């Protein structure tokens, strides 16, 4: 699949940034601008998100192949790859399967573990969000205010709701539709949260620097996950950003910007 991307900066090496679930390429734009004097940055819309094509397939292998196609089409032999949440798992899949294409790997607030088994509450939250999105007949809704009010029944957190509403696009008839392929994401949400099976995980991947970044207030990466991560990426370093939850790049943009810059310049 040919993905939509935004490119800023002209200086090699290449840095590819992969957003999380419900996100898009512009989520990291403000931080990417702070790195653009030193890197050629590709901010990607993953499949079924943003302006990239929709598909009934949404697997980590398919998303890995999408990134490989982008790299091949743009003649990128190797890249620094940074991924947040779902995008972090895409980055890990790429690094495990194609380590020769990686200069540095940066994974933001996600582990390679199976979240479906470990955190049923988190999975249920996603299912409730998607059910609420699917329940809306957007063709009949002409005001964002009305959509916001209806979504409140399934999304109680105001910040989460506003983030989801960034996926709305206005049609020519002034109605709305979702940029996100809600039907496929809803169908595949268990596989998205499940991640990698044991026989898919490859161990002792080395040859490039690896950084895992955790939000202090987030439970997506726990201390007990470090062993599994180190089994896969034995050179991995770990950093915890204080006063940040899962959306570190939105909550502490200056800190993560400085942290990543320092890691890449070591």
Q: Which residues are catalytic?
A: 85, 246
> Which region holds residue 22: left if phi is over 0, alpha if psi is between -120 and 50, else beta?
left
Helix, strand, or coil here: 120? helix
Quote the Cα angle for 63-122-22, to 5°.
40
Helix, strand, or coil here: 198? coil
Element (H, E) at 87: helix 86-97
Cβ atoms of 221 and 213 within 8 Å: the answer is: no
Report in angstroms the alpha-carbon separations of 146 from 17, 159, 171, 176.
33, 17, 16, 11
Q: For residue 55, how far is the Cα from the chain centroid?
A: 17
């Amino acid at each position: 699949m040919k993905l939509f991307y935004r490119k800023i900066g002209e200086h090699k090496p290449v840095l590819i940034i992969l957003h999380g679930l419900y996100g898009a390429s512009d989520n990291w734009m403000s931080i990417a601008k702070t790195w653009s004097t030193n890197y050629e940055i590709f901010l990607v819309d993953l499949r079924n998100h943003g302006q990239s094509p929709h598909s009934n397939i949404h697997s980590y292998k398919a998303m890995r192949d999408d990134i490989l196609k982008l790299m091949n089409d743009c003649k990128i032999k190797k890249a620094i790859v940074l991924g947040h949440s779902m995008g972090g798992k895409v980055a890990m899949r790429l690094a495990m399967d194609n380590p020769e294409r990686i200069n540095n790997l940066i994974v933001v607030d996600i582990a390679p573990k199976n979240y479906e088994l470990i955190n049923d509450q988190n999975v249920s939250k996603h299912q409730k969000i998607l059910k609420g999105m699917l329940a809306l007949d957007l063709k009949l809704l002409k005001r964002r205010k009305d959509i916001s009010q209806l979504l409140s029944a399934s999304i109680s957190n105001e910040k989460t709701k506003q983030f989801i509403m960034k996926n709305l696009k206005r049609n020519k008839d002034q109605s709305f539709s979702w940029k996100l392929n809600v039907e496929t994401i809803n169908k595949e949400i268990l596989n998205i949260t499940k991640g990698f099976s044991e026989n898919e995980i490859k161990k002792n991947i080395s040859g490039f620097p690896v950084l895992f970044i955790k939000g202090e207030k987030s439970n997506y990466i726990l201390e007990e996950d470090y062993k599994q991560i180190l089994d896969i990426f034995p050179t991995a370093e770990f950093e915890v950003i204080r006063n940040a939850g899962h959306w570190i790049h939105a909550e502490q943009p200056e800190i993560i910007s400085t942290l990543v810059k320092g890691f890449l310049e070591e």
